[in-house]
Structure 1
Amino acid sequence: MKVNGTPVTPPDGQARLLDYLRDDLGLTGAKEGCGMGECGSCTVLLDGVPVCSCLVLVCQAEDAEVTTVEGLPPSPVQDAFVDGQAVQCGFCIAGMVVSACALLDRHPDPTDDQIHAALEGNLCRCTGYSSILRAVRTASQPTHPNPATQPTTPQGPARHADTHQAAGGQARARQEAARQGPGGSRAAGSGVAGSGAAEWEEA
């Protein structure tokens, strides 16, 4: 077995991989949450595949490459979790990061459904998941703006300027329609409503 690239010789093949990593090797990033493979806090990579280390015996990983959160290379995932404020108590985050890194190795530009599927085995009791999902999405596109600092629209502050300009145009159209009388008002009003609907649909 190799753990984070280093060959190791576990003393007890019947021990849980989680216990060996934490107690023998001092790799405490993987946490025991449920001990039943339900929460994902103990997630590590076994030959590149996310597994719950609380369910894996050391002997089952005898010839495998085990990667814990401590052994992950630096990547946009860690930065995105911090910058996107996706970390609160931190208990689940090591497992989340491991799962996210495995996902981006397989799918560098994942869909939302792929992100949801990759993290469905990782439970978080603090964040409500929104910030975590945004962090993974940001990590897959590291040149995009940080969603924590520009949360309102995909295009950022410039979109707000466009919206204000559109609102000003609508106000002028209503004033002009009022001066033209009932017939003009209905025609102008119809056009303004259509523009407004398109704006919200794009947003």
Structure 2
Amino acid sequence: MSQRVTLKVNGKPVTREVAPDQLLVQFVRETLALTGTHTGCDTGQCGACTVHLDGHAVKSCTLLAVQADGRALTTIEGLAAADGTLHPMQAAFKECHGLQCGFCTPGMVMSAVDLVQQHGCHSEAQVREALEGNICRCTGYQNIVRAVQVGAAAMKGERP
């Protein structure tokens, strides 16, 4: 038995029928074909599936699609401006080489944006603590931490 969900996805209204047990990450990737959100561990430990729900970072493999009904969902595809200009955090990851294979990058970026928007902090220690729930198997995190600091400064209109 399916259920109807209506939500705003990247600023646009979306209504779909979903199975009551469909995970939000499956809804995003399979139903909406927004494949920037990745499925990593399916247990909420790697952070590859991080999206924003009502402006807060959540791990979409830990929520059901029906739990997003009536809410606002932003995926990595929704961060860039309509004209294609990268969000300051996305630009910082590119500039600072804060990625290698790119698998974890969407979740890292979404978590980093949440860190700045919700907490305004971006010291190295704060960034490392905030990204503790996001796993990168390629890097030593140094470039990721630097990218978050540069992105945070850009989001605040400051120089890094």
TM-score interval, normalised by the smaller of the two chains:
0.7 to 0.9
Distance, in Å, in 1 between the alignment partners of 2:99 and 2:123 is 22
Residue in 2 that maps onto 1:92: 104
Superposition map of 1:24-63 within 5 A: 24-63=31-70
* Higher Rg of the two aligned structures: 1
Distance, in Å, in 2 between the alignment partners of 1:6 and 1:45 is 14
Count of residue pairs brought into register by the alignment: 145
Secondary structure, counterpart of 1:124 in structure 2:
coil
Residue by residue, what CA displacement relative to the aligned partner does 1:104-149 show, whole Å, maximum 9, x if unpaired?
112445223321232111100001111100111112224646xxxx
Distance, in Å, in 1 between the alignment partners of 2:153 and 2:101 is 26
Report the RMSD for the aligned CA atoms in angstroms.
1.6
Residue pair 1:50, 1:102 contacting (<8 A) in 2 also: yes
How does the TM-score come out when normalised to structure 2? 0.84
Residue in 1 that maps onto 2:30: 23
Which consecutive segments of 4 or more residues in structure 1 shift more than 3 A?
142-145
Report which structure shows greater RCO (CA 8 Å, sep ≥6): 2
Residue in 2 that maps onto 1:6: 12
Residue pair 1:10, 1:58 contacting (<8 A) in 2 also: no
Larger proportion of strand: 2
How does the TM-score come out when normalised to structure 1? 0.67
Larger proportion of helix: 1
Residue by residue, what CA displacement relative to the aligned partner does 1:148-176 show, whole Å, maximum 9, x if unpaired?
xxxxxxxxxxxxxxxxxxxxxxxxxxxxx
Amino acid at match of 2:93: F
Tell me which moved more, 7-16 or 122-131. 7-16
- Which runs of 5 or more residues in structure 1 are unaligned? 146-203
1:79 and 2:95 matched: no
